[in-house]
Amino acid sequence: MHGERVAVVGGSIAGCAAARALRRAGAGEVVVLERASGRLQDRGVGLAIQNERYAELEAAGYLDARMPWVPLARRPWVVRDGARREGREIASMPFPFRSYSWGSLWQELRRRLPDEVDYRDGVSVRAVTDGLDGAVVHLADGAEERFDLVVGADGHRSAVRAAMLPPGSSAAPAWGGYLAWRGTLAAGQLPCPSRAFPEDAATTVAFPGGHMISYRIPGAPGGDGGVQVNWVFYATPPPPLAEELADPDASPSAELTSALTDYQLDLVERHFPGYWRDVVHGTPKEARLLQPIHDAAAPRFAHGRLVLLGDAAAIARPHTGSGALKALQDATVLGRALREQDSLPAALAAYDAERAPVGRAILALGRSLGRAHVQHTPDWASMDQRSFEAWWQENQGAGVGGRPLGS
Ligand SMILES: Cc1cc2nc3c(=O)[nH]c(=O)nc-3n(C[C@H](O)[C@H](O)[C@H](O)COP(=O)(O)OP(=O)(O)OC[C@H]3O[C@@H](n4cnc5c(N)ncnc54)[C@H](O)[C@@H]3O)c2cc1C
């Protein structure tokens, strides 16, 4: 780059990483436009990054060991078995991941932004238009600003993605048909016995029509610093409740939230071993959230003076263990392309060629994992280590954790 003026729309994980990449690639001015005011720390709860993928991002300078994390090693799969409080383990798979709290990871990325990055929060972008003499960002307050490049890091309902689509086509994410209920509780509040949930485990309770994965994460910023437990429970809600979730713009009403909570607790009552039922019941109401599963991938990740990263480019369902990872990888590859190619169009074409296939592959993987792990679950209780491994392989379990950088 040669001192270009760049806007990054969205200042979350993809936006912070992109701003860093752009400065390192030689952008003259980087302006981050983030709709939310103040800290973004409440978005999501826990996330896990596979160890080898972490090492690549550390080498590239986007993650470092001072960012709080918890080591994970294995993923036991358990089912209810009579009165056995811990349930019965049907299989245990390696789980070489580091877990992060979403909020602390964002805060660490934000803190590491070079001082020259102009991060403006509380600024909402209404639309973006591309032209020969620059891309124009139209702000919600009516102001307009012209840039040499606009980076769309504005998440699943991206205004930049919408600007790149042919007129009349829809940018709306597609409804996946099921839901993630998420919760966090302090590790100190876990029920007994402690051997039911070893510290390095990402324990998964499997039941007909869904599963719940739980693992420890670092304390949230501003909290007491103690380790937390993060769980994500997936199931398909009954049709009347599901219908209301199909719209990616609608957030569930209080009535719907309460009906969905009752639905989850009923499934827990019917299918969970006692220990794991107590984990869900012991989670404070204010530390629970609903995440309807929607996904989308842009047909191209760059066009003209516009480029997409992270969820704006393609949404990785949470089962893929790669939403934040993909955003960081996108920024890394964009930064490399901008440094190595001798023109902006060549850099954007190289980025698109490398990352759009990865985004599409992760979208497909998320859908396939969703079918196998939620919508058409096997008879988990009849499985043992061997049959589970065969099922895992058949259903692309090896894809969980994302793809190597540069693949
Ligand atoms: C409830 C929830 C839970 C999640 N949990 C996990 C998890 O456990 N693990 C994981 O890996 N991933 C998780 N994800 C996904 C993960 O947060 C993203 O994949 C990751 O943060 C990278 O996203 P991003 O920065 O591209 O988009 P986002 O994090 O969605 O950020 C987009 C940003 O753009 C801003 N923005 C949007 N539109 C505009 C606009 N018009 N003008 C200005 N600013 C705008 C938004 O305010 C937001 O800050 C979760 C997502 C959600 C919604």
Q: How far is the centre of ligand 1, averaged over its atoms, from the C-alpha of 14 (Å)?
A: 8
- 358 in the same domain as 345: yes
Domain count, the chain: 2
- 86 in the same domain as 155: no
Q: What is the pLDDT of residue 43?
A: 57
- 393 in the same domain as 273: yes
In whole angstroms, give the CA distance from residue 128 to residue 193: 55
Other CB atoms within 10 A of residue 166 CB = 6
Q: How far is the centre of ligand 1, averaged over its atoms, from the C-alpha of 385 (Å)?
A: 36
Q: How far is the centre of ligand 1, averaged over its atoms, from the C-alpha of 12 (Å)?
A: 6
- 189 in the same domain as 81: yes
- 147 in the same domain as 64: no
Residue 170 pLDDT grade (very low, low, confident, very high; cuts 50, 70, 90) = confident
Q: Can you give the pTM of this predicted structure?
A: 0.95
Question: Which pair of tokens denotes residue 87?
Answer: 């349930």
Residue 326 pLDDT grade (very low, low, confident, very high; cuts 50, 70, 90) = very high
Domain with residue 290: its CATH number is 3.30.9.60
Which residues, in sequence order, are CB contacts of 239 under 8 Å at separation 6+?
none
Do the domain assignments include residue 406? no
- Give the model confidence (pLDDT) of 89-137 as tens digits: 999 999 999 999 998 899 999 999 999 999 999 999 999 999 888 999 9
- 74 in the same domain as 209: yes
Do the domain assignments include residue 405? no
Contact 89, 77 (CB under 8 A): yes
Do the domain assignments include residue 321? yes
Pocket test residue of 41, 47, 156 for ligand 1, highest count of atoms within 8 A of CB: 47
Domain with residue 38: its CATH number is 3.50.50.60
In whole angstroms, give the CA distance from residue 92 to residue 71: 17
Cα–Cα distances in Å, from 213 out to 39, 233, 279, 377, 400? 27, 7, 12, 15, 13
* pLDDT over 70 (residue 41): no
- 290 in the same domain as 151: no
- 82 in the same domain as 185: yes
Q: Which protein residue's CA is at the shortest distance from atom 5 of ligand 1? A: 44
- 234 in the same domain as 184: yes
Ordered strands of the 149-152 beta sheet? 118-121, 29-34, 5-9, 149-152, 306-308, 302-303
What is the mean predicted confidence (pLDDT) over 219-233?
Answer: 84
- 84 in the same domain as 158: no
- 36 in the same domain as 56: no
Domain extent at residue 150 = 5-43+105-172+295-366
Do the domain assignments include residue 407? no
